[in-house]
């Protein structure tokens, strides 16, 4: 059986770094692992393929559904023959029009908005939690693929629709019907599902509120949001607010910040996106997991810098080894250089 993790256009994904990560983790002795900021699930999926007992966590509800579908789920797949029915209204059922009403001319065309309203409500009527998770994963991927820059950070449908010469983007994908993109993502999601004979779990907590079990973990992997050396933070709740809204469809309209042109959700304070608070978040997280092996994946240069992170780890009695790799992230300038840094620790 061929098992591979789906392609993703999610900001900050470590998917392309897994070939570098894998031998590093193979040299660490551990059996249970917490992926504290699970994101797309690519690293958790690598741990699962390694035969580890994986606990995935992410504070975004949209990511949690992905963790349920691709990490916790060991066997349930979604029947591709059922896809067409998700894109059709069911007789005798009423449908709301949140996306049509609130997001006209912002992200998608009127026809696409109408279709999304139908698909979202049909997905949430699925009874099996893992089937629901697979379909939400597929819908998220389709929504991201049809967005310029793969984000929901501004109102810019015009970039898709303008008939001009383009130096960026993928107009062919933008013009591909939602159902086709969704079907492709379901297929890739199904291919990622397998049983590693372990009890894996997915949770949805801000990491400082995460309930650590009495037995703890052999290893805690920390890949936090990034604040650039210029003080610009990545707020995933803001970048992917549309996906979070989908996950809270019935109360979405009450969550919207109507002062924003792109209908983002009301801001939730997040120290990880603040240059003034991120070092404190780092220290509190390391303090929380100080009794376990910690591996931190970090982008350099950033705030805090690698010397500060090292000092925090040393203050909790950690022995540190650092490995680095030059790496260019998507959506960064070709002139900007960065490197991925891994902190390996022992007590």
pLDDT in tens, 17-46: 999 999 999 999 999 999 999 999 999 999
Residue 118 lies in a domain: yes
DSSP state of 156: -
Question: Does some domain include residue 74?
Answer: yes
Q: Quick check: is 76 in a domain?
A: yes
- Asked whether residue 4 is domain-assigned, the answer is no
Q: For residue 207, is it within any domain?
A: yes
pLDDT surpassing 70 at residue 166: no
Of 65-74, 117-126, 296-305, 332-341, the one with minimum mean pLDDT is 332-341
pLDDT tens digits along 167-190? 555 788 888 999 999 999 999 999
The CA distance from 176 to 163, in Å, is 16
Examine the pLDDT at 114 and tell me if it is beyond 60: yes
Looking at the chain, the whole-number percentage of residues with pLDDT higher than 90 is 85
Place of tokens 């240059």: 275
Q: What is the pLDDT of residues 260-278, one digit of tens each?
A: 999 999 999 999 999 999 9
Write phi, then psi, for 191 (nearest 5 degrees): -70, -20
Q: What is the reported pLDDT for 21?
A: 96
Q: How confident is the model at residue 160 (pLDDT cuts 50, 70, 90)?
A: confident
Q: Check residue 329 and give its pLDDT.
A: 59
**Nearest-10 crossing angle of helices 110-123, 178-191:** 40
Neighbours of 10 (CB within 10 A): 23
Q: Which domain holds residue 64?
A: 15-346
Q: What are phi and psi of 298, to 5 degrees?
A: -145, 150
What number is the average pLDDT over the span 82-94? 97
CB 140, CB 66: distance < 8 Å? yes
Q: Give the number of domains in the chain.
A: 1
- Model pTM? 0.94
Q: What tokens appear for 49 in the block?
A: 């393929």
Residue 127 domain-assigned (yes or no): yes
Give one word for 291, left, alpha or beta, with left for phi > 0 and alpha for psi -120 to 50: alpha
pLDDT at 330: 55
| Sequence-separated contacts (24+) of 94-103 with Cβ below 8 Å | 95/121, 96/121, 96/249, 96/250, 98/245, 98/249, 98/252, 98/253, 101/253, 102/252, 102/253, 102/256, 102/263, 103/242, 103/263
Q: Which of 304, 343, 316 is nearest to 225 (CA)?
A: 304
Mean pLDDT calculated for residue range 315-335: 78
Say what percent of the chain tops pLDDT 70: 95
Residue 337 has pLDDT above 70, yes or no: no
pLDDT at 295: 98
pLDDT tens readout for residues 51-64: 999 999 999 999 99
| Residue 203, in any domain of the structure | yes
Minimal CA–CA distance to 233: which of 278, 298, 300, 280?
278
In this prediction, residue 10 carries a pLDDT of 85
Tell me which residue has tokens 């931190």.
296
Q: Is residue 2 part of a domain?
A: no
């Amino acid at each position: 059986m061929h098992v591979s993790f789906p392609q993703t256009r999610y900001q900050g994904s470590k998917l392309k770094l897994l070939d570098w990560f894998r031998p590093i983790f193979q040299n660490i002795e551990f059996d249970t692992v917490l992926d504290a900021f699970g994101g797309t699930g690519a690293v958790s999926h690598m741990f699962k393929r390694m035969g580890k007992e994986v606990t995935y966590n992410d504070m975004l509800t949209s990511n949690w559904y992905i963790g349920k579908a691709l990490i916790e789920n060991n066997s349930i797949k979604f029947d591709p023959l059922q896809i067409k029915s998700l894109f059709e209204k069911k007789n005798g059922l009423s449908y709301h029009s949140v996306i049509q009403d609130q997001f006209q001319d912002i992200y998608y065309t009127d026809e696409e908005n109408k279709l999304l309203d139908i698909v979202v409500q049909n997905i949430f009527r699925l009874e099996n939690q893992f089937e629901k998770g697979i379909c939400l994963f597929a819908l998220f991927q389709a929504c991201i693929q049809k967005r310029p820059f793969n984000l929901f950070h501004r109102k810019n449908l015009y970039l898709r629709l303008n008939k001009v010469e383009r130096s960026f983007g993928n107009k062919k994908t933008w013009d591909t019907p939602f159902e086709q993109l969704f079907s492709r993502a379901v297929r890739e999601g199904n291919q990622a599902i397998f049983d590693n004979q372990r009890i894996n779990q997915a949770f949805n907590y801000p990491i400082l509120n995460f309930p650590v079990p009495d037995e703890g973990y052999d290893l805690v992997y920390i890949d936090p949001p990034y604040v650039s050396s210029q003080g610009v933070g990545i707020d995933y709740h803001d970048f992917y607010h549309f996906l979070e809204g989908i996950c809270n469809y019935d109360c979405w309209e009450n969550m919207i910040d109507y002062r924003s042109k792109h209908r983002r959700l009301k801001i939730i304070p997040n120290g990880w996106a603040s240059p003034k608070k991120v070092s404190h978040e780092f220290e509190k997280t390391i303090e929380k997991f100080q009794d376990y092996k910690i591996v931190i994946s970090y982008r350099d240069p950033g705030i805090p810098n690698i010397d500060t992170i090292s000092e925090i780890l040393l203050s909790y009695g950690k022995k540190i080894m650092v490995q680095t790799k030059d790496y260019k992230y998507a959506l960064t300038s070709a002139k900007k250089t960065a490197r991925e840094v891994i902190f390996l620790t022992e007590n």
